[in-house]
Structure 1
Amino acid sequence: MLVGVLLASAGYGATFLFSMHVRAIGGTDINTGVTLAGAALGTFVGVSLTGWLAHHVGAARMAALAALCVGAGVVSFALIETVSRFDVLPGFLVGFGWGAFCLAAPMALAERTSDADRGLWFLRFATVQMTGIGGTPALAAFAIRFWRMPLGGVLYVIGGLCVVAALMLEIFGRLAPHARALHGQPAQDAPPAGPASGHWLRNFGAIVRTRAVYPIVIIALGGCVFSGLMTFQMSLVQGTEAKAGTFFSVYTITVVATRWLLSRLVIKMRAETATKVLLAMMVLGSAAMFVVPYHVLFQSAAAVLLGTGYGLAYPIVQLQAVNDSVAAHRRAALTWFVAAYFVGAFGFPAVGGWVLVHSGRGALLALIAACGLAALALAVLRDRRRIPTLSANA
């Protein structure tokens, strides 16, 4: 399972190389944004259909099919040699696959773990997933620079890794014994109701009336900061002595190290305090990028701050989204949380690319920092809204 997650996550990490490929074929960062906008649309479709599809084919097999879809999108993008309106299609494939994977893979893991050890396995899952996401562009930059591999060849390799991931996930589904399902019923390969089922779109009005709306919007803004700094890193350091591969490497190492070493400490803190501290670190990380032209070490500082702040804030904010919602709507809240993240992660580059091309590097960094500050402000507002949710009584 973990090997499959690692390799499938490489496909999502490949999206941070799309900007380089677009420039190589004569496009601009606006074209990159259009491609990732297609990915944003694809994630909505993938998230919406995952519960129903997993019910029919099984969560593990659904995760395997999603990994294949991500790989197909990456390879399709590598095959593009000229900029056109059809660039949105590979992005849609990647988005559809990754959206489905981010629901189906945890669902398959939850089916096969007990309540006692599920938290440990989910921590391992998140750590391995982030290793694949951040490590892929770092290794790709190394291969391109030192091994002289063409970018297209790197993307083909990543697509192949997604095929291997699908195979590993299918084997996992066949061999791993089932524990109890999420609802306390004997687990089948397909759960009775996946996270995306239960008319999550229609539950939005009920979720908005609780504090769960704050973490949902916060993660969308956090996704903007994350995708903005990762997707446009090569453009942001152009003309300086900094290398994009350094940012990717330091970020990945920081996320993995902090999740292993600091997660217990963060869990013991009050969630409200931890969220605000970590979001403030994320804001400082985006601010540090302003100073990179003056000294290259600020790029590493930005990567460490982003990796620590965003990397640790994500699971805490996710827990808030679930706990702040009515018990009957928790699955819908979790699905909205995932969808909101993808809006930021895939949707922001469409806006960011336009800003970068028309207004320059400083304006893009200002927009990224503004998103971080807005997320921090919402965390403060959430703590001041003391309207009780019904989850405690449901």
Structure 2
Amino acid sequence: MSRFFVFLLFFSAVFLQSGAYGLTFMLPRLFDSFGANEKIVGSMLLVTTISTLVTVYYSGHLSDLFGRLRTLAVACIAISASLFLFGSLDRVGSGLVIASLLLGAGWGLTYSLCPIVLTRLVRADERVRFFTLLSVFVMAGFGLSPVLASALESSGYSVRDAFYVTATLCIVSAVLFLLLDAPIKAHAISPRAEAPSRITIAALQGVLKSPALLPVTMVCLGASIFAGLNNFQTVFADTRGLDYADFFLTYTITVVVLRLILARFKGGKTPYLTISLLQYVMSLSIVIFIFSGASLPLYLLVAVLFGVGYGVSYPILVAMTANDARDDLSAQTLQVFALSYFVGIFGFPLIAGWMIVEVGATPLLVLIAGLAVIEATMALWRVMARSA
């Protein structure tokens, strides 16, 4: 199998399973169909968070034992089972908890192991480019699955059918990862066996004492911002009389196009300054959203600016994490990065769901805007500290 075909199949597998996370944006709509509110959505995503954190912590142990590609295949099967279960449930109960646990386990493994597999195939000077391409396929899956759900609803189907379709695609993804096991080993940059990936206390201390601590902290804030704005976008849109599909489609197109155009962009001479400027743009998008009301043009502008700010800065931040990591702790650093990401992505909706029900959507957006300013300022602080 050629190197090009290996990358083609790998990114295809990533795309097919990444739609599962995009469907978490549809949980408020799904839960509303059986009388559950945003608090229940947040609670179930908290269960997903716990499952994800435990799984990511042990992802290195599992991949050392079974191999990274086989572990990814099993993860996709877990995600598929989760989505089928979500689609079939019609009440709050143990079934939702099991579905949330399976989703967290599967998504935690795929998110943490895919970048590690990619580092095995590319040189250090290619990381930004290929991490950007990886993020393009992940984001395409993220953003298009809610659009798929909207299209199905418009065609007379239900949101549950989107869960069934995406679950089937995850099975295809599992097969592709299994087929790639031998070819990826054959095309590895280094012929030696994979270095141990497991996280130990010593490894964790090494990561937290390295310069990578800053991007690891920043990604938690960024994930919280992303989750707060996207997981309840259906709620925001319905309240304002807008179509959530317009936001997700505009955001996805913006991110995919810009990441493809900037695939070879490494962040410039001062990557953290680039990250900071982009995240201030992200902050601006949320401020506009607070005051935009039912205006469709402003709604689309918010999606574009958020796509520019968050969408472009994220792959640069991933690359900076890999570059700031100790050489002997590269795999563990990326796993800790994933742990931090998931604390925000699945943990923050618990706070967001509570705020929507108890105090309203506007205070939540104000909080998200504040977090965005803090994250942008942290990147700027790194620039100033290094230039001092």
Q: SS state of the match for residue 81, structure 1?
A: coil
The Cα of 1:139 is off from its aligned counterpart by 1.7
The amino acid that maps onto 1:178 is A
- Which structure features the higher share of helix residues? 2
Q: Is the 8 A contact 1:211 1:387 kept in 2?
A: no
User: Which range moves more in the overlay, 155-164 or 99-108?
Assistant: 99-108
Equivalent residues of 1:266, 1:274 under 8 A apart:
no
For residue 274 of structure 1, report the CA deviation from its aligned partner.
0.3
Closer, same or farther in 2 for the Cα pair 1:140/1:14, shift >3 Å?
Answer: same
Mapped to 2, the partners of 1:113 and 1:266 lie a distance apart of 15
Check 1:207–1:50 CA distance in 2 against 1; reply closer, same or farther (3 A cut).
closer
Partner of residue 221, structure 1: 221
- Consecutive unaligned residues of structure 1, counting only runs of 5 or more, are 389-394
C-alpha distance in 2, partners of 1:316/1:121? 11
Kept in 2: contact 1:7–1:165 (CA 8 A): yes
Q: Which residue of 2 aligns with 1:322?
A: 322
2:239 paired residue number:
239
- Rate the CA distance shift 1:105–1:75 in 2: closer, same or farther, 3 A: same
Q: Distance in 2 between matches of 1:252 and 1:304?
A: 9
- Unmatched 5+ stretches in structure 2: 1-9
What's the counterpart of residue 103 of structure 2? 94
1:23 pairs with 2:32: yes
**Structure 1 SS opposite 2:108:** helix
Match for residue 180 of structure 1 among 174, 188, 191:
188
1:311-351 Cα deviation digits (max 9, x unpaired): 11112222333333444444333221111111111111011
8 Å contact from structure 1 (residues 111, 178) kept in 2: no
Give 1:344-383 correspondences, 5 Å limit.
344-383=344-383
Alpha-carbon separation, structure 2, partners of 1:84 and 1:100: 25
Contact kept, 8 Å, 2:72 with 2:113, in 1: the verdict is: yes
Corresponding residue for residue 6 of structure 2: none
1:237–1:292: 8 Å Cα contact kept in structure 2? Answer: no
2:133 to 106, 112, 124: 124
What percent identity do the matched residue pairs reach? 27
Summarize deviations over 1:262-283 as a string: whole Å, max 9, x none.
Answer: 3445633421220111110111
Q: Quick check: 292-301 or 354-363, which moved more?
A: 292-301
Q: Quote how far apart the aligned CAs of 1:65 are.
A: 1.0
The CA deviation at 1:387 is 11
- Partner Cα separation in structure 1 for residue 153 and residue 13 of structure 2: 24
| TM value normalised by structure 2 | 0.90
Structure 1 residues 266 and 108, CA gap change in structure 2 (3 angstroms): closer
Aligned to 1:333: 333
Matched ranges for 1:1-394 at <5 A: 1-84=10-93, 87-113=96-122, 120-145=129-154, 147-176=155-184, 178-180=186-188, 184-187=190-193, 191-194=194-197, 197-199=198-200, 201-265=201-265, 267-386=267-386
Paired letter, 2:160 = G
Structure 1-normalised TM-score?
0.89
Asked if structure 2 preserves the Cα contact closer than 8 Å seen for 1:114 and 1:180, the reply is no
Cα distance in 2 for partners of 1:46, 1:34 equals 19
SS at match of 2:196: coil
What is the CA–CA distance in structure 2 between the aligned matches of 1:114 and 1:313, rounded to whole Å? 21
Q: Secondary structure at the match of 1:130?
A: helix
Which sits farther off after the overlay, 120-129 or 162-171? 120-129
Q: Deviations over 1:37-65 (max 9, x none)?
A: 11111211221222121122221111111
> Could you report, residue by residue, the CA deviation over 1:126-178 in whole angstroms, capped at 9, with x for unpaired residues?
21111111111112112212x11111122111111111111121122245561
Q: 1:210 to 1:120 in 2, by over 3 A?
A: closer
1: CA distance, partners of 2:107 / 2:53: 10
* Shift of residue 289, structure 1, vs aligned partner: 1.5
Q: Secondary structure at the match of 2:180?
A: helix
**Alpha-carbon distance between aligned partners in 2 of 1:294 and 1:18, rounded to the nearest angstrom:** 23
> Which amino acid in the other structure matches residue 102 of structure 2?
L
